[in-house]
């Protein structure tokens, strides 16, 4: 896992996007992922807090190219209307 260079991609999103995002990252080349229940506030705050199930944090360690792809996909598909952020480390 440590040998080749890898990137950690972190996505924080409304809970109801969870399964879609998990499918997407695997489709885009991830071999695994880790999910954490989180709460948060942002510029949109589309999430209704616990009523709509707070947020989830999706982390996946992938090759740089894959990271690119995931970040782009999330940005295109979700930034406009959904409470989502993504960052690559």
Partner 1 sequence: MLDVLLASLLSPVVLAFVLGALAVVVKSDLEIPAPLYKTLSIYLLLAIGLKGGVALSTTPMAEVAGPVGAAFALGILTPILAYGLLRRLGRMDRTNAAALAAHYGSVSAVTFIAAQSVAAFAGTPSEGFMPALVAVLEVPAIVVALLIAYARGERAGSWREALMEVATGQSIILLVGGMTIGWIAGEEGTASVSPFFVGGFQGALTLFLLDMGMTAARRLRDLRDVGAFLIGFGIGMPIINGALGVWAGQMVGLSVGGAAVLGAMVSSASFIAAPAAIRVGLPEANPAYYLTAALGITLPFNLTLGIPLYLTLAGWLA
- Answer with the entry of a second copy, partner 1, ligand AMP, none that 2 interacts with (C-beta below 5 to 8 A by kind): a second copy
CA dihedral (31, 35, 41, 46) positive or negative: positive
CB within 8 A of 88, min separation 6: which ones? 7, 8, 9, 10, 67, 68, 71
41 lies in the site for a second copy, by CB under 8 A: yes
Each residue 17-56 as x (binds ligand AMP by CB under 6 A) or -, in order, gives: -------------xxxxx-----xxxxxxxx-------x-
63 lies in the site for a second copy, by CB under 8 A: no
- Answer with the entry of ligand AMP, a second copy, partner 1, none that 16 interacts with (C-beta below 5 to 8 A by kind): partner 1
Nearest-5° Cα angle at 45, 87 to 35:
45
């Amino acid at each position: 896992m440590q040998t080749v260079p890898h990137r950690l991609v972190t996505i924080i999103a409304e809970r109801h996007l969870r399964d879609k995002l998990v499918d997407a990252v695997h489709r885009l080349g991830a071999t695994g992922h880790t999910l954490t229940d989180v709460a948060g506030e942002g510029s949109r705050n589309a999430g209704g807090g616990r009523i709509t199930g707070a947020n989830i944090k999706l982390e996946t360690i992938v090759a740089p190219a894959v990271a690119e792809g995931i970040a782009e996909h999330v940005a295109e598909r979700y930034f406009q209307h959904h409470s989502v952020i993504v960052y690559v480390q």
